Amino acid sequence: MAEGENEVRWDGLCSRDSTTRETALENIRQIILRKTEYLLSVKETPYRSSEAGLLNAVSLDGLNKLLAHLLMLSKRCPFKDVREKSEFILKSVQELGIKIPRPLGHGPSRFIPEKEILQVGSEDTQMHALFADSFAALGRLDNITLVMVFHPQYLESFLKTQHYLLQMDGPLPLHYRHYIGIMAAARHQCSYLVNLHVNDFLHVGGDPKWLNGLENAPQKLQNLGELNKVLAHRPWLITKEHIEGLLKAEEHSWSLAELVHAVVLLTHYHSLASFTFGCGISPEIHCDGGHTFRPPSVSNYCICDITNGNHNVDEMQVNSAGNISVSESFFEVEALMEKMKQLQECRDEEEASQEEMASRFEIEKRESMCVFSSDDEEVTPARDVSRHFEDTSYGYKDFSRHGMHVPTFRVQDYCWEDHGYSLVNRLYPDVGQLIDEKFHIAYNLTYNTMAMHKDVDTSMLRRAIWNYIHCMFGIRYDDYDYGEINQLLDRSFKVYIKTVVCTPEKVTKRMYDSFWRQFKHSEKVHVNLLLIEARMQAELLYALRAITRYMT
C-alpha cells in the first residue's frame, strides 16, 4: 500500500462535465479511504519490525501528499462541486483519526491582504470562464493567476500564451518545455516556479533523474545553460557565437525552431520569476511551505508560521514604509500628477535636439547603475534550486562596471515590431502574435486612474517605466526624452524596479510598501506587469538580434 500520489488520476476534475468530475472524485475518495484504513490497521498492529515502520512512514507520506492536494482543491478549484466534495473527503479522513492539513499564510500574496484579492467562488461569469480555462489547462488555479486577476484582460492573454508555449504543438517535446522552465526559474532561485514545474515535468513523463541536477539531463539541455545564464543576468553580452555553439553541436545540436522556442520559454520564466518575487507570491497550498499538519495555536498561528513570514494579518498591516503619514503620501500623488502636467506643457512648447536626447539617455543609463537594492548582499541559493543550473556565483552586473563598455542597442536598428516579431513567427508560428498581443496589453493597459484620482492620462508614466527598464538594459529609443524618467520615478520606485527586474530574489515587502504608498494594490500589480513584459522584450531583443546576426 506504499503507493505514491501517481496512482490517483486528478485529470477528470478538470473536465467541464460534472458527471466526469463526480466519477473522478468518487475514485479519489475510495483510494484515500483505502489508504487511511490501511494506515489505521498498521497502527493497531502490536508488533512492528523496522521495515514495517518504514513502510508505514512511506504510506503516510503518500497519503499526506494526497490530502494536501485535496486541501488545494477545496480552496482553489473553480468548480463548486469539487471544492465541496474535497472538503467532505478531508473531514471524513479526520473523523477516522488521521491528521489533515490546513493552509499556511494568508492568501496568494504575502504583500497584498487576502481580503483584497478575488476569492474563488465569488467570481462573475466572465471571470469564472477564465478560471475554468486556467484550471482545465494546468489542473490548478495558481497564486500567480489569482494575483494577475486584478487585470483580467492581461490575464487572459498571459494564460493563452503560456498554454501555447507549454502544451500546444511546437518544436520542443513537453518534458523539455517544463525542464527549461525549471532551469530559467532556478537562475533567480525561484523555488515557487521550480516546484510547480517539477510536478508538471513528472506529470508529462519527464525522467526523475534529470531533477537530481543539470548534469543528469541530456547534453543538449546542458548546453542551454550558458544562454540561460547570460540571458537572465546580462543579456547585452549575448553574441552570434552563443547561437552558433548551440546550432552546431553535432549530435546535440538545436534546430533554429527549437532554439527560438527555448529562448521564448527562458525569457518567459525569467520574467515570471520577477513577477513572483515582485508581488510576494506565496507557495501553493499543496506545495512545501503552503500547508501544515500542525493544529493552529490559540492565537490562530503557530511559530512555524512566523518563521515563514506568515504573521497575523493585522500585524502585517503595520506600515513598514517608515511610518509615513497619510497626508505625506497623499502629497506624493499630487506632486507626481503636477510633474506629469508640467512635462506635457514642456513637450508642447519645445522639443530637445537629437544630441540632447542622446546625452540624456547616457546620463540616465549611468544613474541607473547607481541604484542598488537596499538589501544588496548576495543571496545564497538553496541546493534544491541551485542543482538545476551551473555557475551559481554568476549574477547581475551593470554593463559598464569594471571599465567594460557595451554599445547602446538602438531600437530603430533592431526592434520587436519590425524584426523580432517576424523572426519568432516565422520559426515558431503564432507565438510572435501571442507575445505581441501580451506586450501591447501590458503597455497600453489603463483605467485612467491614479490612486484616488480619475480621468487621468497615465501614458507618460507607463512609458517612463517601460523605457527606464530598457535603459537599464542599454536599449535606447531615439524619440524619447530620458529626462522625463528622473522627473516621474522617485528613488524608492527605481530601487523597486531595478530589484524586481535584475535581482528579483532580493525583493522585500518593505520595498513593495515603500513606493507609491497611496496607490491601490491593483495599481502595483499593474506596475509589475509592465516590469515583466519590458524585461521579457529586452531579453528577447538581445537573443533574437544574435540569432538574426548568425543567420545573416
SS (H, E, C) 216-256: HCCHHHHHCHHHHHHHHHCHHHCCHHHHHHHHCCHHHCCCH
Torsions phi, psi for 409 (to 5 deg): -90, 110
Selected from 1.10.260.40, 1.20.1290.10, 3.30.750.24, 1.10.357.10, the CATH number assigned to the domain covering 114-279 reads 1.20.1290.10
Closest CA to 183 of 193, 169, 170: 193
Contact 194, 385 (CB under 8 A): yes
Dig out the grid coordinates for 511 from the structure: 520595498
DSSP bridge pairs for 291:
103
Neighbours of 338 (CB within 10 A): 10
Contact 155, 532 (CB under 8 A): no
Contacts of residue 538, Cβ cutoff 8 Å, sequence gap at least 6? 235, 469, 470, 473, 475
CA distance 268 to 540: 9
Dig out the grid coordinates for 227 from the structure: 544562454
Dig out the grid coordinates for 206 from the structure: 519527464
Closest CA to 274 of 499, 469, 523, 490: 499
CA distance 491 to 494: 5
Domain residue spans in the chain?
Answer: 11-100, 114-279, 332-551
DSSP bridge pairs for 301:
none
User: One-letter amino acid identity for 463?
Assistant: R
CA distance 1 to 241: 54
* 350-381 burial code (b ≥16 CB/10 A, e <16): eeeeeeebbebbeebbeebeebebeeeeeeeb
Dig out the grid coordinates for 144 from the structure: 500567480
Dig out the grid coordinates for 86 from the structure: 474535497
CA atoms within 13 A on the CB side of 406: 23
409-410 and 475-476: which strand pairing?
Answer: parallel
- What pLDDT does residue 316 have? 39
- Region of 455 (left: φ > 0; alpha: ψ -120 to 50; beta: rest) is left
Contacts of residue 204, Cβ cutoff 8 Å, sequence gap at least 6? 174, 175, 178
CA distance 240 to 549: 6
DSSP bridge pairs for 450:
453
What stretches of 414-542 adopt beta strand conformation (E)? 449-450, 453-454, 475-476
Dig out the grid coordinates for 57 from the structure: 512512514
- What pLDDT does residue 77 have? 96
C-alpha dihedral over 90, 146, 139, 179, to 10 degrees?
-120
Segments in the chain below pLDDT 50: 1-5, 300-323, 376
Contact 214, 222 (CB under 8 A): yes
- What pLDDT does residue 385 have? 73
CA distance 395 to 501: 12
CA distance 274 to 529: 10
- What pLDDT does residue 304 have? 40
Contacts of 353-356 spanning 24+ positions with Cβ under 8 A: 354/478
Tell me: the pLDDT tens digits for 467-479? 999 999 999 998 8
Active site residues: 190
